[in-house]
Structure 1
């Protein structure tokens, strides 16, 4: 069993090294896109597929609160996973839950951060489509080949694609990426002198 445990750690470390080799440009672009949106008075909306939604909530929380150093609140919100109720009507189809919230709460210029595993998850695809119809910039954290999400993105959007096909490694990298983005955003907006 101990060899298996060591193998799991080794695989995770190798996935992080591979991500570190290919993602710096995308991470820099994503951080600067978020910073510029915040400077312009816009907010970051975050959502994720079931296995990643806690990361969307975590990212929003890091901006509203702080990452490692106390600083002013930044406007970010995680869209709810709960199906939206329409009075006495039946609940909204789960594939439309995030898209409806984007249409209801987002303003032109706001940013949408979507976190997915393979990019073919219908609730995330429909949220991205809704954001694009509102002229929002979209930041995508995804793995595998990027799936359907990749085809939706324009030149002003940012794709951060983890170079892995294994869901567990992708989700682990997404957590690291949210921390990396939080630190980069703080470093730009609230520099602490020597870094």
Structure 2
């Protein structure tokens, strides 16, 4: 009787969800609970791009509040790494640029869109023994956090197509030896997927 109930339960579960769906749902739940890295994207519009759109990615000169040690072009680099998986025509600026300079470079490159990024804030919490020795502040223990702002601009018309704000935070199980810039990759990939209509 017990084996029959177990078989029915397994068949019922397998009919509802695939193993990969269950794994993704578990990861989402653990992220929401704060155990794994988590990123939250707020968009101003539901605009979608064609897969063959040519996107130029640049980052502003602005240094994030709360951290002077982030690499100068890290947001543009992480955005490029996330977008190149979904858009075959992507190019990134080699260094931070002002908005006008980035728009001119995007037009010169023949890009349809400019993705202009800014690392608004970063909170690098104590996550290693060395950081603890340097700071020795109990209130600095915890998970890293960061906020990134994005503007998607059509290069031909200079119209703002979409703007987004990404809040990311590390997880309790993944906090060791992480910095706020280390948790930017997955939200950037998620934003690229949303622009293609592959995610909600």
Q: Which structure is higher in helix share?
A: 1
The TM tier, using the shorter chain, reads 0.3 to 0.5
- Normalized per residue, the structure richer in strand is 2
Tell me which structure has the larger Cα radius of gyration. 2
TM-score normalised by the chain length of structure 1: 0.40
TM-score (norm 2): 0.40
